[in-house]
Amino acid sequence: MLTLAAMRVIADTKDPYFTSLQAGAYDKVKPKGKPCDSAFKEGCQGPRLGKKATLALAIVITVVGFIIVGLSIWYILLLVRSSRLGKIG
């Protein structure tokens, strides 16, 4: 793979794309503000979820959790019943 990449670099006569960029071209797509990390705490003050969105998210997570727990219990009961039937027969 490295050999193919080296052959491509040697055989290509065009300049790389980044040599043709105009000064200030990145400013059009540069993200605004500061990142949210340990160096820039002020960048972490982004928009928060509203009360309705938080409530909807909590309801969805709770319902999905109950479904997963219910299906797990149902599956365990099926395993227990099938193992009891196997011992009888």
Reported as a single tens digit per residue, the pLDDT across 33-68 is 777 777 777 777 766 788 999 999 999 999 999 999
- Quote the pTM value: 0.47
- What is the 8-class DSSP label of residue 19? G
**35 domain residue, yes or no:** no
**86 domain residue, yes or no:** yes
**26 domain residue, yes or no:** no
Q: What is the band of 72 on the pLDDT scale with cuts at 50, 70, 90?
A: very high
Looking at per-residue pLDDT, the higher value among 82 and 40 belongs to 82
**41 domain residue, yes or no:** no
How far is Cα 74 from Cα 84, in angstroms, rounded to an integer? Answer: 15
Domain count, the chain: 1
H or E element at residue 3: helix 2-11
How far is Cα 11 from Cα 8, in angstroms, rounded to an integer? Answer: 5
**What DSSP assignment string belongs to 34-77?**
---SSS-GGGG------HHHHHHHHHHHHHHHHHHHHHHHHHHH
